Structure 1
């Protein structure tokens, strides 16, 4: 049977996605803007070096700016059009093709500029053209090297983020599993339906802890996971646990990394409710203000002598690192104490989760 399943399993062919290509998408406004600004700064430096009697040779600056912007924009457009094909090549071959595109572009515009500025039939200033080609080669190689280092850094950051997610997913405490199984065992004889529901909730929790492919999920899925977790804890803590849900409508598709709220809710139970003989209230709130979505988890302030704060700090640090890696500066995590209430607040940029688990494209 297993052999048959192996035979019927489709073979997956590993191909490089254009999103994994080390050259950024030059079709985006931000990328083109950075190329234009960087090339203009280079032209400015060359114009200052070229000037002899003044700080800058404005005639040289104007002509060189026109030439450089022609070559930069046309080369960027060609690389943009060929990006999907280039992403299927090896890095050395893709680099060679990009360098060839830029050099051919520079050669074409050099010959055109010479024919316009120095219209001498049959005479081409090959020495000047060779200098332009050499300079274009050096600059292109430096830019591609910068892109490659940035790509490597991004890959390393994503690997670290995945490691943090794996560590966070492994945080479901063994004592939680032990207590849950005892609770389910005690319910089997008196209330089998609730025991069955608890088993389903527990299976969903562990299924989420094993799912590492999704980088972003809808907020509704994360809230459902929190409800399942709290349903199990409610069976154990009974009247000691009070829940206060205040979730604004229209936030179901808000993008959020998986296992972001659930560890915060778990910390609220473990540090704020469980040590207190009378228990307390856990409040989960979600609302939108402008282009930001705020998520809050509140619980009674933990007792000073209650241990486990290192695990709490680790969870907060991991969540903050993942938020920053996926959303950048707009994502913020804060925690505070006020009037014996401990509050953790998340601020996320307003954007919908895509269907493939990848981060939505940021608007430029």
Structure 2
């Protein structure tokens, strides 16, 4: 299946060779991070800078008589606020691991304290440039603390918003895996193989058990792409027994992309959708292709499948919306999610930081 033209906005730079290898070792759960706010993401940096500049621009209006005076005052204040903001972001990001060891209230207090120091740093910049006759040290410190408190509060709320999405995703995937027809078909396949091929029956039951274990274990807010690939392999191994030749699978896995961080339970529901909408409705079956590729600082993940009749059956899109939301929560503006249907081939394409 050539999916290079499905999404013309993201052309292929070369398909990695197809592989047929046994699944990697079973994933190991990750401990949930205790960090209550994260200043390292590109989206956070952009929003923080824009927020501070907006506050500075509004503040400059109170002491400016006309547009020219406002531009001058805005430039002077930005010369102090911009370096202070970058300093806060740099220090907060550099101390990320250290802050994660502190209780939540101390992490927030540290963010506010760093803001006060950033305000004093900005005031020092004004004093060194001779742009302020009397340096407002106290006011600058309190302004930095207040603005950083607002920023920390926004980041904490953003971090907390991940928990409902992750919990809903885990429950939705658990329900999907234990729904009666999936469990019934999987157990029937195992029973049919007990006498004919005991080893394959044992392998199928192990894969089924691993799916349940993965759904029940708390994976934290992120896992590696290689672990998600391992889970998808187990799911497709179960469905391969059920559908036989109707399910044709291609793997194009870039080993350099395996360490990238993704939300847990993000690939398997997309693969399940490919089977449900591509293989099940067609007596001829379908081809499902999973590919990963590292391109510089970006990892591209694709789940592609042929659809019956060239169009397929429309779904509710619950799984895709969930995946998109969790990608944005984890990677913000650095994550991309797109879908397309062209010439009887449906593709989900994601981008995450390498």
Choose which of 26, 50, 56 in structure 1 pairs with 2:69: 56
Contact 2:310 2:344 (C-alpha < 8 Å) held by counterparts: no
Choose which of 43, 50, 56 in structure 2 pairs with 1:42: 56
Contact 1:36 1:72 (C-alpha < 8 Å) held by counterparts: no
Choose which of 305, 314, 319 in structure 1 pairs with 2:318: 314
Tell me the TM-score normalized by structure 1: 0.65
Q: Name 2:170's counterpart in structure 1.
A: 166
Pair 1:323-2:327 in alignment? yes
Structure 1 regions of 5+ residues with no counterpart?
1-15, 119-127, 352-364
For residue 326 of structure 2, give the secondary structure of its aligned residue in structure 1: helix
Q: Name 2:23's counterpart in structure 1.
A: none
Structure 1 stretch displaced more, 76-85 or 287-296: 76-85
Q: 1:21 to 1:335 in 2, by over 3 A?
A: closer
Q: Name 1:149's counterpart in structure 2.
A: 153
Q: Name 1:198's counterpart in structure 2.
A: 204
Q: Name 1:293's counterpart in structure 2.
A: 300
For residue 209 of structure 1, give the secondary structure of its aligned residue in structure 2: helix
1:1-364 equivalent positions in 2, closer than 5 A: 17=34, 19-20=35-36, 24=39, 38=52, 42=56, 46=60, 49=63, 55-56=68-69, 84=98, 87-88=102-103, 90=105, 132=136, 135-136=139-140, 139-170=143-174, 171-172=176-177, 173-290=179-296, 291-301=298-308, 309-310=315-316, 313-341=317-345, 343-351=346-354
Q: How far 1:333 sits from its partner (Å)? A: 2.3
Q: How far 1:72 sits from its partner (Å)? A: 7.9
In structure 1, what is the Cα distance between the partners aligned to 2:87 and 2:173?
47
Structure 1 stretch displaced more, 222-231 or 174-183: 222-231
Contact 1:301 1:340 (C-alpha < 8 Å) held by counterparts: yes
For residue 226 of structure 1, give the secondary structure of its aligned residue in structure 2: helix
* Higher relative contact order, structure no. (Cα contacts within 8 Å, ≥ 6 residues apart): 2
Tell me the TM-score normalized by structure 2: 0.67
Q: 1:240-278: per-residue Cα shift (whole Å, max 9, x none)?
A: 222222334533323332222211221122222122222
Q: 1:198 to 1:329 in 2, by over 3 A?
A: same
| Count of matched residue pairs | 313
Q: How far 1:325 sits from its partner (Å)? A: 1.4
In structure 2, what is the Cα distance between the partners aligned to 1:36 and 1:135?
21
For residue 276 of structure 1, give the secondary structure of its aligned residue in structure 2: coil
Structure 2 regions of 5+ residues with no counterpart?
1-32
For residue 256 of structure 2, give the secondary structure of its aligned residue in structure 1: coil
Structure 1 stretch displaced more, 93-102 or 197-206: 93-102
What is the RMSD computed on CA atoms of the aligned residues?
4.7
Which protein shows a greater Rg? Answer: 1
